[in-house]
Amino acid sequence: MRPFNPQFILDVIPNLLPFLWVTLSVVLGTVFFGSLLGFVLARAKLSQKPLYCWLADGYIYIIRCTPSIVLLFIVFYGLPKFCLEVFDMDINGYEKIFFVLVTFTLLFAAPISEVMRSAYEAIDHGQYEAAVSIGLTPWQAFYHIILPQATVVALPNFGNSVIELMKEGSLAYTIGLVDLIGKGQLIISQNYGAYALETYLPLAFIYLLLTLGVEKSFLRLEHAFSRQKKAA
């Protein structure tokens, strides 16, 4: 067995770090678009019409049973063909990050819609009724009264979902996106397969720091929000 080379770890970190922003932009983009889609799903699940409710339920169930890598491949191979046939649009040349964003938005929306729905249901319905009865429009009542309270309830689960997403997002390298792990794989193949462990260990360390950072910042946010709640 080749001896472990700690010096290589220090050499490889500066090469990896520039690709941190690719990983982070995948996460941030997915959180943004996924929350929008999740909001729509949560709205559908709470609606009075059984068809919408049923559709949202089915979507959430199927996503829960789908491995991310399978959906990633389906989107990567299927979406260009689908767009070409249906919209007559050629997206074969699109950046890989586009397919990654589409996949993880689809994946992230399902758990986040459940988080939003449970947070919404945790707020007493009387709050909404009181707000409407003093003359707020339904949208104002939702935006000024329900949303701030539901956010506090949703934050811990939201943070967990983001961490989960960040870890799943590492699969993006399988379709050739050069993010942290993609760059790591490139470095390993540049060295003809040597120094694999010395490249994976700093990657694991970076991911560990990222997840711990996200966890800490969500805890901070939670504290800030609940202090506001107490003051009020």
Partner 1 sequence: MDINYQFLIKTFYLVLAAVPTTLNITAVSLLIAMPLAFYLAVIRLRPGKYIQIIISGYITFVRGTPIVLQILIIYSILPSFLNSVAKGFALEVNVFDWNPIIYAYIVFSLNTTALLCEVFRSALASINKGQLEAALCAGMTTVQAYRHIIVPQALVVAMPNICNITVKLIKGTSLAFLMTVKDMTAVAKIAASYGYNYIEAYMDVFAGYVIVCSVVQVAFAFAERHVGKFRFIK
- Residues in contact with partner 1 by CB under 8 A are 1, 62, 64-71, 73-74, 77-78, 81-82, 85-86, 166-171, 173, 181, 196-197, 200-201, 203-204, 207-208, 211-212
Report whether 95 contacts 25 (CB < 8 A). Answer: no
| Nearest CB to partner 1, comparing residues 12 and 71 | 71
Q: Which of 19, 23, 4, 12 is nearest to 166 (CA)?
A: 23
For residues 72-111, one letter each, b for 16 or more C-beta atoms within 10 angstroms of the residue's C-beta and e for the rest, the string is bbebbeebbeeeeeeeeeeeeeeebbebbbbbbbbbbbbb
| Nearest CB to partner 1, comparing residues 108 and 173 | 173
Question: What CA–CA distance (Å, rounded) separates 195 from 23?
Answer: 22
| Nearest CB to partner 1, comparing residues 105 and 170 | 170
Q: How far is the CB of 123 from partner 1 (least distance, A)?
A: 24
Q: How far is the CB of 77 from partner 1 (least distance, A)?
A: 4
Q: Which of 27, 18, 9 is nearest to 162 (CA)?
A: 27
| Nearest CB to partner 1, comparing residues 81 and 227 | 81
Q: How far is the CB of 71 from partner 1 (least distance, A)?
A: 7
Q: How far is the CB of 52 from partner 1 (least distance, A)?
A: 21
| Nearest CB to partner 1, comparing residues 73 and 142 | 73
Write the CB contacts of 114 (distance below 8 Å, at least 6 apart in sequence): 42, 60
Q: How far is the CB of 150 from partner 1 (least distance, A)?
A: 23
Q: Which of 98, 91, 99, 119 is nearest to 35 (CA)?
A: 119
